[in-house]
Amino acid sequence: MSMPEPESPEPDAAPPADEAPEAAPDTPPLDPYTAHYPPWARELARKYFTKTVSTFILHGDIRDVVPTEDRDGARIYPPLRRFLTDDLFAARDVVVFYDRSAGIHFADAASRRDFSRALAGEERLAGTEYENNLPKAPNKVFELLEDYFRLRLSNGTRVACVIDYAETVAPMAEASMYSAPDRQSLVYLQKWSRDSLFLESDFTLTLLTENLTDLNQQLVQSPHTAEIYVPIPEGDDRQAYIDWALDERGDRFRAHSDVSPEALAQNTAGLNYTQLRTILADVLENQNRLTAATLSDLKKEFIEAEAYGMLEFIETDNSLDLIAGHTEAKRHLRQAAHAVQTGQHDVLPMGYLVSGPVGCGKTFLINCFAGEIGIPMVKLKNFRSQWQGVTEGNLEKILNLLEAMTPVAVMIDEADAALGDRDAQGDSGVSQRVFSQIVSFMSDPAHRGRVIFFLVTARPDLMPVDLKRQGRAEEHLSLFYPHTRADREELLRVMMRRTGVDLPIEAVPPELLEGERTYSGADMEAVLTRAAFRAAGSNDGTVTPALLQETVNDFIPPTYPTEVELQQLAAVLECTSRDLLPERFRSMKREEVVERLEQLKRMVD
């Protein structure tokens, strides 16, 4: 690519064989002039040197600093704009920047003067309103840049153009929503990406956007553009940055930190260099003590802010010991936790489908699992927006963060409503695109054991098969209400501990343990809470057996027998382990379950 040293050979000249670094037999040697660049920058250079593409879309962590070296070989971390100017485009004669806020600006004053001189000579600026005040509207700007680029490229001038916040220039929208100026701007960008003069000259157009889905898809999907993803730094990159930032200040950092630099790098997955700099500056400059708890809080704060509040960390001191019943489900999850903690990622499922009727403890089970899995667990909140293109951009941001946070577990509650459907209609294709993004991410083999999805729903029958098949949500854990006295006793003991009610099992009303009606965990908690509320009005506030019996007699739980039976049978059909099924369901023929389920659906609908 463009070399920062003026005495360097031509960019496309092959380096001398004796200067190429050693490499493995199957690994192509690195270009010594770009070896110190991050991988994404080397990829951009490689594609540029093919001379078949001159338009690049940089997306991802583009607001961060970039690791590189100065002329003396010392490690530095400049912002992306300076990296483009001083490194990638250092040999260009002119580097032009544009965004809708600042308008046209240049890497140096000489380029600005050349721009004015060139267009004045063409009588494009002289005597016009633009002579001393350049336009900011994209269509007007591109009209001027078109003339300037063609004039200079025809004379052999080497030019680079960087358009920041490209999604505001060519946003994702239906063609019918574009105004005439917007369409004109899009035509300019498309023309520059395929015009022979631009391809054959030393010209590079770089579009910057955080989310690829925010940009016009005609540009993104064009064979004349190349998309370059700028990833959030990984563990080795974070360690290198911390070592660089603590050079000669390591003792000062350790004096105010309970977290070693190595532990800091290991426990900040998902954070970029700028966020790491904030943590380090708080210790080095403000001398605030960094503890493990403080680091956890800071990481949570940074990632939730970066995800615009659409990811929520699940933090709990609970464990699966608090779960009553669901013995087989707990056994499987404990095996999964052991595999994660021992690094056996290849034996783990890509994801889980957790189903069962309302009140059976699906969400609580996964929350308790988060307490003992040993890796972060986040909850995916509502990422949908009423504005076109924003939903897809939100999801892209979230998935990029999840990939950077690995290993991580992700819980999606009410998954049947949250994830869309390939066949959904009536929302301009948003649900279809969201569905495509999700299934593509879930089925990536590189994510096995590193991004574990938990899709929680009471209606698994409403979820598309593509999400539930092998290679995505592979394990289907079905939960049911307690169906034996032992299960009910265990559940009641747990609920009494949660609500602070202290009674011997012998003093508990028999309706809770042996009645015809099955009380769910939510029902039992509601009864005990109501009894505690009544006891609060008495002198000592103690729940007595008589008061609890009175509460049970008065309690009328909301009953939806048809819906509950439907949800139970849907969970039976989805279950992938016979051991998880209660005895009464194991003996049912599958044809009987399907037939009854269809009857219930017709009744509910």
- pTM for the whole structure: 0.76
Look at residue 226 in the predicted model and tell me its pLDDT: 95
- Asked if residues 299 and 270 have their Cβ atoms less than 8 Å apart, the reply is yes
pLDDT higher than 70, residue 576: yes
User: What's at 63, amino acid-wise?
Assistant: R
* Angstrom distance (rounded) from CA 202 to CA 2: 9
What DSSP letter does each residue of 295-350 carry, written as one string?
Answer: HHHHHHHHHHHHTTT-EEE---S--GGG--S-HHHHHHHHHHHHHHHTT-GGGS-S
* Angstrom distance (rounded) from CA 406 to CA 268: 10
DSSP helix/strand/coil, 544:
coil
Q: What percent of the chain has pLDDT over 70?
A: 88
Mean pLDDT (the chain, rounded): 84
Q: How far apart are the first and last CA of the chain?
A: 63
Q: What is the mean pLDDT of residues 334-359?
A: 88
User: What's at 135, amino acid-wise?
Assistant: P
Look at residue 130 in the predicted model and tell me its pLDDT: 55
> What would the pLDDT profile of 251-285 be if each residue is shown by its tens digit?
999 999 999 999 999 999 999 999 999 999 999 99
Q: What dihedral angle (degrees, nearest 10) is formed by the CA atoms of 535, 539, 545, 547? A: -50
Q: What are phi and psi of 589, to 5 degrees?
A: -75, 145
pLDDT higher than 50, residue 290: yes
Residue listed under structure tokens 């019918």: 176
**Lateral strand order in the sheet of 94-99:** 103-106, 94-99, 159-163, 203-209, 55-60, 225-230
Residue 132 confidence class, pLDDT cut points 50, 70, 90: low
* Angstrom distance (rounded) from CA 579 to CA 88: 60
Question: Which of 404, 69, 4 minimizes the C-alpha distance to 244?
Answer: 69
Residue 31 confidence class, pLDDT cut points 50, 70, 90: low
> What would the pLDDT profile of 78-106 be if each residue is shown by its tens digit?
999 999 999 999 889 999 999 999 999 99
